Amino acid sequence: MNKEQDKETYNTNPDEKKSTKFDPHDFPKEEKEEVKTATDEQKQYQILLNIASTGTSEELFNYIHSIELEAKKEAKQEFEQKLNQAIIELREKIIKN
C-alpha cells in the first residue's frame, strides 16, 4: 500500500470528528454493569429453563441454590463496601473536629 491509500483507509487526522462506531468506553461504568447484570440474568433464566425441561429436580434445586449463594455473596460485598465508606467518612469527620 502506498501513503495515499493509507490515508484513505485510516483516519490519521486527530482533529477530525470522532467515528460514529460503537465504543463501550463512551458509557459510564454503572451503565455497563447494569447491562452485564441483565445479560447474566438472561443466561441464568435460560439455564433454569433448560434444567427444568431436561434435568432432574435435584439439578434444578442445586442450580437455584447456587444462584442464591452468589446473590448473597454480592450483597455482602456491597454492604462491606458501604460500611467501609461510612467508616472512612466518620474518621474524616473526627479528624476535622
DSSP 8-state class, residue 15: T
Q: Nearest to residue 49, comparing CAs of 64, 65, 34, 68?
A: 64
- Residue 33: per-residue pLDDT: 56
pTM above 0.85, yes or no: no
pLDDT tens-digit readout, 66-94: 999 999 999 999 999 999 999 999 999 99
Domain ranges of the chain: 28-96
C-alpha span between 75 and 85 (Å, rounded): 15
